[in-house]
Amino acid sequence: GDCVVGIIMGRTADFYKVEIRAPSPAFLPTLSWNGATKRNRPVLEIGTLVYARIEAAHPDLDTELTCIDPDTKKSWSTGEVLLGELKGGLSFEVALSAAQRLLDVDCFILDRLGKDFAYELCVGQNGRVWLSAP
């Protein structure tokens, strides 16, 4: 599935409601994190940014997201997993075509920025971008 940058809009015991620039909000189960258990799971506040993968999308049902990265065995609590909470930085929205260009391997803009300073960037295929420059 595609990776998106979403904003936590609501929280229940079993899932988070996430705004992903779609007609209806998506939901992110609270146990959909690498190594998460009922006792050891992330607690996200409303307004928090997350980088998540689309698990299931049906026209008549809400979209389901996951922060489980199948390429790693590391736990969400180490902070070394690709998907999950995005801390600090800033977010902004771009056109979907611009997001696709930023995701290209040979993106001129990102190469040029990298020559002047260090940064971290998450580009969601929903057109939302998160940027952190320590």
Q: 127 pLDDT exceeds 90? A: yes
What pLDDT score does 37 carry?
Answer: 82
CB within 8 Å of 2: residues ≥ 6 apart = 53, 54, 124, 125, 126
79: left (phi over 0), alpha (psi -120 to 50) or beta: left
- The angle at the Cα of 130, spanning 105 to 128, to the nearest 5 degrees, equals 85
Which residues have a Cβ under 8 Å from the Cβ of 121 and sit 6 or more positions away?
102, 110, 129, 130, 131, 132
pLDDT digits (tens, 9 = 90+) for 46-63: 999 999 999 999 888 889
Closest alpha carbon to 48 in 24, 69, 67: 67
Query: Could you report the per-residue pLDDT of 65-114, keeping only the tens digit for each?
Result: 999 888 877 777 777 788 999 999 999 999 999 999 999 988 898 999 89
CB 93 within 8 A of CB 40: no
pLDDT at residue 121, as a whole number: 93
Backbone dihedral angles phi then psi of residue 7, each to the nearest 5 degrees: -120, 130
Rounded CA Rg of the chain: 15
